[in-house]
Amino acid sequence: MNAVIKADRLTKQFGDFVAVDHISFEINPGEIFGFLGANGAGKTTAMRMLCGLSRPSSGRAEVAGFDAARYPEEIKKHIGYMSQRFSLYGDLTVAENIRFFGGVYGLGRRQIKEKSNELIARLQLQKEAGQLVRSLPLGWKQRLAFSIAILHDPKIVFLDEPTGGVDPLSRKQFWDLIYETADKGITIFVTTHYLDEAEYCDRLSIMVDGRIDVLGSPGELKAKFKVETMEDVFYLFARRAKNTE
């Protein structure tokens, strides 16, 4: 199996401050990869490099087969991105948001129409298709934002704290959608503050002070550090940090 994300001693420096410090890992197609770390550990900076939004200071990253330093625009075409902060336009309807993002991702008119019908049917939004996104409950908005982020069948979708503040039932339904997507072969790269969600990942890493010291499946990590839950593993490492708040 060929890795869809390869990071090799990937580093980002701002002046004297090393935000991301020689991180290396490989992620496989269809894998759900959890990217954990305390606030300020360097997760966002690392993710920006992998999405082609920030140039590495040194080291390499290959995403969807493209080098992050040389072909950032190619990477952007082959990935999806969703965060809690930026997702959809509240003053456009459900259908308009789908059409708009379809256009941004470069899909043709017929393709957008097909994908749009498919998406609306799958999320059972037939009645709400003409409603402003602003008026939808948060849980629906998140599922819609996720579905739109994979509208163009990307190889990888980056999810930056996708479930913050969502009610628990919607959070479970959101993970159902993640599982479904991973089963189709799309790689999921996800950050979260909910440590029970860490248990749902195939593998995960914990970032501390810009470095990745811990990487493995939840089962491996719990066995290795002889603790019961991922929360215990996280607590063990994140509290050693110097840079965090």
Partner 1 sequence: MIELNHISKAYKEGAVKALADITLCVNEGELFGLIGPDGSGKTSLFQLITTLRLADIGSASVNGLDVVKDYAAIRAIIGYMPGKFSLYQDLTVKENLTFFCSIFRTTIQASQGLINDIYVQLKPFEHRLAGQLSGGMKQKLALCCALIHKPKVLFLDEPTTGVDAVSRREFWEMLKRLNASGITIMVSTAYMDEAIQCKRIGLIQSGKLLSTDTPEGIINSFPDPLFAIRSEDIRKLLKDLRAYGKTKSCYASGEYLHATFLNDNPSEEVFALLQKLGHHSIEIKKSTPTVEDSFIQLMKS
217 three-state secondary structure: coil
The single residue among 166, 188, 190, 212 that binds partner 1, judged by CB under 8 A, is 166
DSSP string covering 33-48: EEEEE-TTSSHHHHHH
Instruction: Report residue 25 CA to chain centroid gap.
Output: 16
The answer to whether the CB of 44 falls within 8 A of the CB of 29 is: no
CB of residue 123 to partner 1, shortest distance in Å: 18
Number of residues counted as binding partner 1 (CB under 8 A): 38
DSSP string covering 94-120: HHHHHHHHHHHTT--HHHHHHHHHHHH
The answer to whether the CB of 216 falls within 8 A of the CB of 207 is: no
Can residue 181 be called a binding residue for partner 1 (CB under 8 A)? Answer: no
CA dist 44 and 191 (Å) reads: 9
Can residue 196 be called a binding residue for partner 1 (CB under 8 A)? Answer: yes
What x-and-dash track marks residues 105-144 binding partner 1 by CB under 8 A? Answer: --------------------------------xxx-----
Tell me whether residue 63 or residue 178 sits nearer to partner 1 (CB atom). 178
Q: Dihedral, CA atoms, 83, 85, 87, 92, nearest 10 degrees?
A: 170
Q: Are strands 32-37 and 58-63 parallel, antiparallel or unpaired?
A: unpaired
Can residue 39 be called a binding residue for partner 1 (CB under 8 A)? Answer: yes
The single residue among 4, 38, 68, 82 that binds partner 1, judged by CB under 8 A, is 38
CB of residue 19 to partner 1, shortest distance in Å: 14
The single residue among 167, 185, 213, 220 that binds partner 1, judged by CB under 8 A, is 167
Tell me whether residue 95 or residue 178 sits nearer to partner 1 (CB atom). 178
Can residue 28 be called a binding residue for partner 1 (CB under 8 A)? Answer: no
Q: Which range touches partner 1 (CB under 8 A), out of 3-11, 16-24, 115-123, 227-235?
A: 227-235
CB of residue 235 to partner 1, shortest distance in Å: 6
- For residue 178, the surrounding DSSP H or E stretch is helix 168-183
The b/e string for 204-227 (b: 16+ C-beta within 10 A; e otherwise) is: bbbbbbbbbebbeebeebbeeeee
- What residues make contact with partner 1 under the rule CB under 8 A? 37-40, 137-139, 161, 164-170, 172, 175-176, 179, 182-183, 193-196, 199-200, 218-219, 229-231, 234-235, 238-239, 244-245
